[in-house]
Chains A and B, each alone.
Chain A
Amino acid sequence: MSDLVFENVGIRYGSGRSAHEVVRGVSFTVPSGRTVGLVGESGSGKSTLARAVVGLHEPCTGRILVDGTDVVGARGSAASVRRTVQMIFQDANSCLNPRMSIGASIEEALAVRGRSARRDRAQRRSEVRALLEMVELDPARAGDLPMQLSGGQRQRVAIARALAAEPRILLADEITSALDVSVQGTVLNLLMRVQQRLDLTVLFISHNLAVVRQLCEDVAVLKDGELVEAGPATEVIDRPKHPYTHELVDAVPRIGTPLFGEGAAV
């Protein structure tokens, strides 16, 4: 069981004069085994926050705790703790190496897990197949290159690769926003099933409130790098307290509900 705690995290881009703080004093917890949604508009710092957990950005202030271990600038044992956090990205086109078969990509993730590197090839192969089955892809396609797969399938391979590292925490960064709505559901359902089956802790980043409301137990709302509201998803989205959350929820289009009432001031 692993939880993920942000303590007063601040992240800055650039240095000196051109420094620009994109995340300021953000604190919240992703409790073990739960799915927490992180919502906000572009530039709100939600992706930056997630990338800081896995070391792609360095926070200038605060701590990021995985299971109680600070992973900021992690070395040695803290780095291996950080490796229990894996991330899935938005762009299905760039998340897989175009020159590596999907099987090889997953196998690489198995190999760096350490102990399995000593295991024989055949066993790794069978694990690759098991992972592909788990993400509902035909194991016979292990030799395919990413370009032979659709966007939704590639995103499922990315999930399989993340799972190969046996993570305790998954960061999903806008994983369906580049996909068509008809494909989106499949990927989200897969994430939901995997989360339940492996009892994962998930930080789900999205700008789609409807998806977050249905998928996540809790939600945190970011605006311009600051946390404005957090709490149980249905509560925050159905009865927003902060005016910004209110504005966000109001702007969501709903089938058949006119975006502007008749005669509304426009």
Chain B
Amino acid sequence: MALTTLSSPDSALTEEGGVAVASEQTRVAASARRRFVAVLRSPIGICAVAALIVVAFFAVFGPVLWGDVARQADLTQLSAKPSAHHLLGTDAGGRDVLARVLTATRLSIVTAVLAAALGVSVGVVIGLLPTIAPRRLGRLINSALGVALAFPALLLAIVVSITLGVGSVSVTLAIGLAMAPSFARLAQTLGASVTGRDFVAAARILGVSRPRILVRHVLPNVRDPLIVNASIGAGTALVAATGLSFLGLGVQAPEYDWGRMLNESVGSIYVNPAPALGLGAAIVFAGVTFALVGEVLARAFGLHRPSRRRRRQATHSAAASPVLHVADTPVLSVRDLRVEAPQERGWATPVRGVSFDIGRGEIVGIVGESGSGKSLTCMAVASLLEEPLHVAASSIRFEETELVVEGKLPGGQRSKALAHQLGTRLAFVFQDPSTSLNPALRVGTQVAEVGLLHGGLKRREAFHRAVDRLAAVRLSDPARRARQYPHELSGGMRQRAMIAMGLMVEPALMIADEPTTALDVTVQREVLALLRKVNREHGTAVMFVSHDISLVSSFCTRVLVMYRGAIVESLSTEDLAAGRAEHPYTRALVAAVPHMDAVPGTEFATITEDTEFPLDAVREEPV
């Protein structure tokens, strides 16, 4: 119906589209390939590839090149010590140990790889079956898995090898089956995290069949971590197989692997340690190889990024940013604040030179969209940003104390006096009260801590004051709440507790970073009322950060508008309300907010996605 008429009949366009599609896919593939190449070229990548080549070489060619030598028994040289002729000496049968170690590579590695492959395959099938099987069968599989997981793999392997008897085949089966439960659990956990996502729900709603959901949506998204763990699992299988053979429960004569040889050489370790040491080296080398390959794959898939840090000289901004508003008695005065963040290549500047003042007792709003740098700005001002972020400014003065040293704002702890000042005069309220309170500590303990650290209070006094402060933020039954853990409080209560934390002392400035974004509107109103009460009663200045320009304008006295890391306009709430905003971005932002008095059924005002607004600030007020 409607859709068919919309279909474009233009076949020429089809071809163009086809070409474009192909080139896009190439581009995505290319970026993944580039990461792979970059990882392979890194030191760890080179090590892994080199080690893998060595292991693979001996596994493939070991028996071919040294197999004959390994069989030759020199009866004049039984259990000989190392010599030029026999680098690792000979065994009790007079055979060259080095040749036997190299020859045994194939059996040891093949056993390990096959066992890991078996474990992964069985594990993935068992682990992902519940996602497509009927619910009851799925539950049954899950409980069986829970029981199987309780037993350590080596014990399972011993049980299986008791039943299957000894020998290389039964060792492979035993270890493979013993590893299956843990891979099943991994596949299940990964699968569950994918099936819980909306795109799987969307596919189900569309009526996509369960097997197809598994193949098209679940498997591609769990593949990478499974491959990484399979590689690590091969190392585990190697150790387990060697261990079983070492115990005499694995490979049997005339076959031999590293474990069996180690068993034979341990007895003579007092007379001739060389064979045991050589075998140890071989086992560790192979184990390290599997671990390295796993790590490299993890990095190549982007599952594990190496932490990187680069040193950086303080950079001076090309032009000093204008000061948009100067307060007479500023509690906070920021000049030319820059924040830089390391990227894959080079550095990004999420805050590019901002300057502003906050007067005593003022409520200033900082408004901007995601990525505008508003949160970073207030974190930087509070000296809470740490490496790898780099903070520079020409000056940040908080109550007459200069925080900037030689153009930089050092993160972390500095002098005790400064810690005391920031701890008592600057309070911070974070966005999400469900994560900002420590889940393992009682609410009262956390509120009381500031008094303990900076208020010179004893533990008991601090706790009493905390209860008093919780009452001040209108938490019902504060004495009981103080003894509860954060998860026992509602979102609104937790945010009140955060504010109470700031009120343990007399802060001159309270920085509130999106304090109500995670809350419902009715709760938002209560929390804002509380902030305003703090402002009125204690004269505490409030720096209120939000993405919601209507909220900022209905709560603050002055608004700073941030866009792409710069403050583009500073204006009073009255000017904003009266439509006197001058910067095109501010105007666009105000226009884009849905109004309660808009004409129903009309289109919403929009900002075209790639509009570039000027970064230059407007309304420069005389200093």
Contact = CB atoms under 8 A, between A and B. Distances in A.
Contacts of A131: 3, 6
Contacts, number: 245
Given A83-B206, A182-B589, A182-B607, A253 B551 contact: yes
A213 B598 contact: yes
Contact of B521 (A100, A163, A197, A252): A252
Nearest to A183: B609
B521 A207 contact: yes
Interface string B393-427: 00000000000000000000000000000000000
Contacts of A123: 7
Interface string A118-131: 00001101110111
A101 interface: yes
A24 interface: no
Contacts of B528: 259-260
A250 B221 CA distance: 45
Contact of B596 (A55, A217, A254, A258): A254
B532 A260 contact: yes
B554 interface: yes
B201 interface: yes
B22 A143 contact: yes
A166 B596 contact: no
Nearest to A147: B28
B550 interface: yes
Contacts of A254: 550, 554, 595-596
B598 A189 contact: no
Interface string A202-221: 00000111110111010000
B506 to A, nearest CB: 19
A156 B593 CA distance: 20
Contact of B198 (A95, A99, A141): A95
A170 B2 CA distance: 15
Contacts of A233: 600
Interface string B93-109: 00000000000000000
A139 interface: yes
A99 to B, nearest CB: 4
A195 B199 CA distance: 22
B520 to A, nearest CB: 4
A211 B6 contact: no
A125 B589 contact: no
Interface stretch (B229-237, B309-317, B573-581): B573-581
B217 interface: yes
Given A112-B207, A125-B18, A180-B369, A255 B590 contact: yes
Contacts of B7: 123, 126-127, 130
Give the one of A158, A165, A237, A251 with max B CB within 10 A. A251
Interface residues of A, number: 94
Interface in B533-574: 533, 536, 547-551, 553-555, 573-574
A210 B548 CA distance: 13
A127 B524 CA distance: 45
Interface string A245-257: 0011111111111
B369 A185 contact: no
Nearest to B221: A99
Interface string A17-44: 0000000000000000000000001100
A181 interface: yes
Contacts of B554: 253-259
B578 to A, nearest CB: 7
Interface string B476-518: 0000000000000000000000000000000000000000000
A228 interface: no
Given A95-B198, A112-B207, A163 B522 contact: no
Given A141-B24, A252-B521, A260-B529, A210 B595 contact: yes
Interface stretch (B9-17, B34-42, B64-72, B123-131): B9-17
Contacts of A97: 199, 203, 216-217, 220-221
B204 interface: yes
Contacts of A192: 603
B219 to A, nearest CB: 9
Nearest to B553: A255
Given A142-B21, A181-B589, A198-B2, A255 B204 contact: no
A213 B600 contact: yes
Give the one of B549, B607, B608 with max A CB within 10 A. B607
Interface of A: 41-42, 51, 54-56, 79, 83, 85-87, 89-91, 94-101, 103, 105, 108-109, 112, 122-123, 125-127, 129-131, 133-134, 139-145, 148, 150, 152-153, 158, 161-166, 180-186, 188-189, 192, 197-198, 207-211, 213-215, 217, 233-234, 237, 247-260, 266
Given A139-B13, A254-B596, 16 more contacts: A41-B521, A96-B199, A99-B220, A127-B7, A139-B17, A143-B22, A143-B23, A185-B594, A188-B604, A210-B598, A217-B600, A251-B522, A254-B550, A255-B595, A256-B574, A259-B528
In order of increasing CB-CB distance, the 7 nearest A-B pairs are A256-B577, A143-B24, A185-B604, A140-B20, A185-B606, A143-B21, A210-B594
11 contacts: A90-B198, A145-B28, A185-B594, A214-B594, A254-B596, A255-B595, A256-B574, A256-B577, A258-B555, A259-B554, A266-B532
